[in-house]
Amino acid sequence: DIDELPELDDDFDLAVAAPAEELESVEDVAAEYKEELPTLDSGSDDDFPPLGDLGDIDLDNLDNDLDFLSGTDESETKLDLARAYIDMEDQEGAREILQEVLEEGNDQQKQEATKLLDSLV
């Protein structure tokens, strides 16, 4: 019951025994940390050799550099990728790739894509 609770003295002694220490200013603290942090040398544009005239680049040989891609069959690669997705249990990723094979692949690849799609849950 509330009436049974003791009365509290509402005269709280809030006197401070000693004044608080003077705190460092934000600028002083920041200066201390700035001295501790290493500076990063951003370098300059002079550190790199000039590019020269980009018109001097021989683009005729660029096709030769990409010849290693000429023998690849994109749909076969997509089938391999779909199998990898299935192994990783990423059925949505496999479905998306297999749909592309159904649109772009040859008859054999389309049959394989259909078989793989049917195997998905």
Residue 94 inside a domain? The answer is: yes
More reliable by pLDDT, 91 or 11: 91
On whether residue 37 sits in a domain, the answer given is no
3-state secondary structure of 119: helix
Q: What is the pLDDT of residue 58?
A: 73
As a whole number, mean pLDDT of residues 60-85 equals 79
In a domain, 82, yes or no: yes
Instruction: Examine residue 28 and state whether it is found in any structural domain, yes or no.
Output: no
Between 9 and 85, where is the model more confident? 85
Tokens of 90: 């990423």
Residue range 7-55, pLDDT digits in tens: 777 777 777 777 777 778 888 877 777 666 666 666 666 667 777 777 7
Whether 87 maps to a domain, the answer reads yes
Burial 71-103 (b: 16+ CB within 10 A, else e): eeeebeebbebbeebbeeeeeeebbebbebbee
Instruction: Round to whole Å and give the CA distance between 23 and 20.
Output: 8
The answer to the question of residue 113 being in a domain is yes
Domain that includes residue 86, residue range: 74-119
Write down the pTM of the prediction: 0.44
Cβ(86)–Cβ(120) below 8 Å: yes
Separation CA 112–CA 98 (nearest Å): 9
pLDDT recorded at residue 14:
73
Residue 15 lies in a domain: no
17 vs 119, more confident: 119
Q: Tell me, what CATH number does 104's domain have?
A: 1.20.58.2200
Average pLDDT, the chain: 80
Q: How many domains does the chain have?
A: 1
Residue 84 · residue 55 · CB < 8 Å:
no
Residue 13 lies inside a defined structural domain of this protein: no
CA-nearest of 121, 107, 117 to 83 is: 117
* 43 phi-psi bin (left φ>0, alpha ψ -120 to 50, beta other): left
Would you give the end-to-end CA distance of the chain in angstroms?
A: 67
